């Protein structure tokens, strides 16, 4: 019986799973931040969290590192060769016989694509886009922040929501329900009090929960919130088209567009999704949207199974979905 370890090292959690070739979950482990680019974590902190999650998973599975046939790491921050030069020695020090690292974006693709071909769009706290064509060629677009062209993700949405409420309060923008929702969230009477609090405490970034308020307002018919979500949907569509155009090789294929990240997987805004679909349709007719149900760590496990030549059947994928995440 072969054993695979899949590890998802994300911006907020590190989640490791150990499975066998039949898709049975033998053990799992959870630790802290897995993105070494986080200044408060660094490579030493990230590596310590990888170790902690792995040891938990192995202990629960009653296995040793030597008994793992393949360990697949899907890591936030594994974007450029510079990153891999830092990450490879760290992961090698863990002692696995066979292992590999991919950007966590690609484990997201595998959670929604049986043959690991298509486009993946990430819209969580940040944003990213990538793809893999039938020839095995890959391309990543974005993921480096607003200055470098990104205009999506939870942090962006939270900021836009807060800005819209400020502009309404100061009569520089249209009326929006966010002007009432944001003060209520803070237990304050109006945006004036909220602004004083931000100014007094020199706060220049807002809370991600503003993103949730934005979705609420849009669902209640708030036109400003709807426009913000539609704008992000269009940006994600542009990113998908960019990946497809860069890679090519999808001719005549019904391209899976895999959508991952909390904004999409939990928010599922019809306004965002409709704008996304409409933008892709401007250039490509044959595609379908996929919102995966399995946790990213199982996407890493699936890549590991692929590397070992293990056929991941629908039954195995259904098992991975049933196991849920790290909660």
Nearest to 273 by CA among 286, 284, 257, 285: 257
Task: Look at residue 298 in the predicted model and tell me its pLDDT.
Answer: 97
> Could you tell me the domains of the chain?
3-97+293-322 (3.30.420.40), 115-292 (3.30.420.40)
* Per-residue model confidence (pLDDT) at position 73: 98
> Which segments in the chain show pLDDT lower than 50?
none
pLDDT score, position 198: 98
Predicted local confidence at residue 170, as pLDDT:
97
The pLDDT assigned to 229 comes to 98
Q: CA-CA distance, 262 to 123, in Å (whole number)?
A: 7
Q: Which residues fall within 8 angstroms of residue 187, CB to CB, at 6 or more apart?
A: none
Position 164 scores a pLDDT of 98
pTM of the model: 0.91
pLDDT at 325: 85
Q: From CA 120, how far away is CA 291, in angstroms rounded?
A: 10
Predicted pLDDT at 316: 97
Which positions ≥6 away from 221 have C-beta within 8 Å?
none
Reading across the β-sheet that carries 287-290, which strands appear in turn?
138-141, 127-132, 118-123, 255-260, 287-290
Query: What pLDDT, on a 0 to 100 scale, did the predictor assign at position 219?
Result: 97
pLDDT in the model for residue 327: 65
């Amino acid at each position: 019986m072969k054993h695979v370890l899949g590890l998802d090292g994300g911006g907020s959690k590190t989640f490791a799973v150990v499975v066998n070739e039949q898709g049975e979950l033998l053990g799992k482990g959870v630790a802290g931040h897995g993105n070494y680019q986080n200044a408060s974590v660094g490579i030493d902190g990230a590596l310590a969290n990888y170790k902690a999650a792995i040891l938990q998973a192995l202990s629960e599975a009653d296995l040793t590192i030597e008994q793992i046939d393949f360990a697949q790491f899907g890591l936030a921050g594994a974007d450029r060769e510079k990153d891999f030069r830092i990450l490879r020695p760290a992961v090698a020090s863990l002692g696995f016989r066979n292992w590999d690292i991919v950007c966590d974006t690609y484990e997201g693709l595998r959670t929604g694509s049986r043959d690991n071909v298509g486009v993946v769009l990430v819209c969580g706290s940040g944003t990213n886009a990538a793809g893999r064509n039938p020839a095995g060629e890959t391309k990543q677009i974005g993921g480096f922040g607003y200055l470098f062209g990104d205009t999506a993700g939870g942090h962006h949405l939270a900021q836009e929501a807060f800005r819209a409420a400020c502009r309404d309060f100061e009569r520089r923008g249209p009326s929006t329900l966010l002007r009432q929702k944001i003060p209520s969230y803070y237990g304050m009477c109006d945006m004036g009090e909220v602004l004083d609090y931000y100014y007094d405490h020199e706060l220049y970034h807002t809370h991600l929960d503003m993103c949730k308020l934005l979705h609420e307002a849009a669902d209640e018919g708030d036109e400003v919130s709807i426009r913000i979500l539609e704008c992000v949907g269009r940006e994600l569509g542009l990113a998908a088209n960019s990946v497809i155009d860069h890679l090519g090789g999808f001719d005549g294929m019904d391209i899976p567009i895999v959508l991952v990240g909390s904004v999409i997987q939990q928010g599922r805004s019809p306004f965002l999704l409709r704008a996304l679909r409409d933008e892709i349709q401007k250039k490509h007719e044959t595609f379908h949207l996929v919102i995966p149900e399995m946790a990213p760590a199982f996407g890493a496990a699936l890549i590991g199974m692929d590397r070992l030549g293990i056929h991941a059947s629908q039954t195995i994928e259904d098992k991975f979905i049933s196991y849920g995440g790290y909660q």
